């Protein structure tokens, strides 16, 4: 069939063609469910009370997530680069870091930071450096996720064809210049999906900082429940707010992916 005839046939059947297959159905379904739940929540005094109570926790959760992720991105990049060098010392150090940090549960790292490292540093510096509270939590999450991200960076760098480094070096670029201008820009575009994945996972894992008594979203929810014994509304709200936050992050990640894609 010619293209002309095809157009005619389609045109007769459907005057305005709607690209059904292009509609993000998951967003549509989620929006409908979300609006329904949101409506019933926002019109109920019981839920509004919880939301008001935990709002400060949302702010802390976001604060900790964003700062931790920013640090983890840098730490991961540094150790990821060390994992692909030929220098045996840098390779050994980075591998040790990755294996150790990956092998310890984040909950344990946070407790360790809060109750072992922080007092140790405070004593050693005579109280001048005190990580008590949010800094300890942020560092704990960042060094743990730094190990995961190091592996993400490494896989991204190693996925770039060997010819790219060779072409860059053949033009007289140093290893570092080639890495910076040729390899990393390509590698980072390629690892955006797993990076976004870890970003969202980190937001959820930030709930673990409740164990060192930081008033994040989860901790505030627990506090509300223990005060009012309204576990149903309390934990519903906490779960819903985490979901809203992760969905927003997911949209953010998609936007970044689309913006940086090579046409």
Partner 1 sequence: MSELIIVVEHVYKSFGHVKAVVDFSMEVAPGEVVVIIGPSGGGKSTLLRCVNNLEPIDRGRIIVDGVSVTDAPNINEIRAEIGMVFQLFNLFPHLRALENITLAQRIVRKRSQEEAEAIAREQLAKVGIPEKWDSYPSQLSGGQQQRVAIARALAMNPKIMLFDEPTSALDPEMIKGVLDVMLDLAKEGMTMVVVSHEMGFVKAAADRVIIMDYGSIVEEDTPEELFTAPKEERTRQFLSQILH
Distance CA 262, CA 209 (A): 39
Give me the least distance between CB of 243 and partner 1, in Å please: 35
Q: Which of 215, 213, 200, 181 is nearest to 248 (CA)?
A: 200
- Does position 6 interact with partner 1 (CB under 8 A)? The reply is no
Q: For residues 176 and 213, which CB has a smaller minimum distance to partner 1 in the complex? A: 176
What's 116's DSSP letter?
I
154 contacts 84 by C-beta, under 8 angstroms: yes
- Break the chain down into helix, strand, coil percent, rounded to 5: 85, 0, 15
In the region spanning residues 8 to 67, those forming contacts with partner 1, defined by CB under 8 A, are none
Give me the least distance between CB of 181 and partner 1, in Å please: 6
Q: For residues 96 and 171, which CB has a smaller minimum distance to partner 1 in the complex? A: 171
Which sign does the torsion angle of CA 125, 68, 150, 145 carry?
positive
- Does position 126 interact with partner 1 (CB under 8 A)? The reply is no
178 contacts 150 by C-beta, under 8 angstroms: no
Q: Which of 34, 215, 45, 218 is nearest to 133 (CA)?
A: 215
Q: Of 95, 155, 186, 228, which lies in the binding site for partner 1, with binding defined by CB under 8 A?
A: 186
Tokens representing 220 are: 């505030």
Distance CA 44, CA 58 (A): 20
Q: Of 63, 122, 189, 204, which lies in the binding site for partner 1, with binding defined by CB under 8 A?
A: 189
Q: Of 182, 208, 209, 225, which lies in the binding site for partner 1, with binding defined by CB under 8 A?
A: 182
Q: For residues 168 and 210, which CB has a smaller minimum distance to partner 1 in the complex? A: 168
Q: For residues 21 and 263, which CB has a smaller minimum distance to partner 1 in the complex? A: 263
Interhelix angle 88-103/45-83, nearest 10 degrees: 150
Q: For residues 81 and 182, which CB has a smaller minimum distance to partner 1 in the complex? A: 182
Using CB under 8 A as the binding criterion, the count of chain residues that bind partner 1 stands at 20
Q: If you count them, how many residues does the chain have?
A: 263
Give me the least distance between CB of 155 and partner 1, in Å please: 18
- Using CB under 8 A as the criterion, what x/- string covers residues 145-174 for binding partner 1? ----------------x-xx-xxxxxxxxx
Q: Which of 187, 184, 191, 195 is nearest to 249 (CA)?
A: 195
Distance CA 84, CA 179 (A): 11
- Using CB under 8 A as the criterion, what x/- string covers residues 204-243 for binding partner 1? ----------------------------------------
- Does position 181 interact with partner 1 (CB under 8 A)? The reply is yes
- Does position 87 interact with partner 1 (CB under 8 A)? The reply is no
Give me the least distance between CB of 30 and partner 1, in Å please: 33
Q: Which stretches of the chain bind partner 1, using CB under 8 A?
A: 161, 163-164, 166-174, 177, 181-182, 185-186, 189, 262-263
């Amino acid at each position: 069939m010619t293209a002309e005839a095809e157009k005619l046939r389609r045109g007769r059947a459907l005057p305005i063609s709607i690209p059904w297959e292009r509609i993000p159905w998951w967003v549509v379904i989620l929006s409908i469910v979300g609006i329904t739940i949101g409506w019933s929540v926002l019109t109920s005094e019981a839920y509004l009370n919880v939301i008001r109570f935990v709002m400060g926790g949302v702010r802390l959760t976001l604060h900790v997530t964003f700062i931790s992720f920013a640090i983890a991105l840098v730490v991961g990049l540094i150790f990821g680069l060390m994992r692909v060098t030929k220098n045996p010392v840098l390779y050994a150090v980075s591998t040790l870091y990755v294996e150790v940090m990956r092998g310890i549960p984040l909950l344990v790292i946070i407790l360790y930071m809060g109750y072992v490292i922080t007092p140790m540093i405070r004593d050693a510096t005579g109280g001048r450096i005190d990580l008590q509270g949010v800094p300890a939590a942020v560092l704990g999450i960042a060094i743990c996720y730094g190990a995961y991200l190091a592996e993400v960076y490494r896989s991204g760098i190693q996925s770039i064809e060997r010819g790219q480094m060779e072409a860059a070096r053949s033009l007289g670029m140093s290893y570092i210049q080639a890495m910076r201008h040729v390899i990393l820009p390509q590698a980072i575009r390629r690892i955006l999906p797993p990076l976004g994945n870890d970003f969202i996972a980190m937001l959820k894992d930030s709930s673990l900082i409740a164990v060192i008594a930081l008033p994040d979203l989860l901790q505030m929810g627990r506090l509300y429940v223990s005060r009012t014994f309204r576990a149903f509304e309390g934990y519903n709200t906490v779960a819903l707010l985490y979901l809203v936050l992760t969905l927003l992050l997911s949209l953010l990640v998609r936007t970044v992916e689309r913006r940086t894609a090579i046409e």
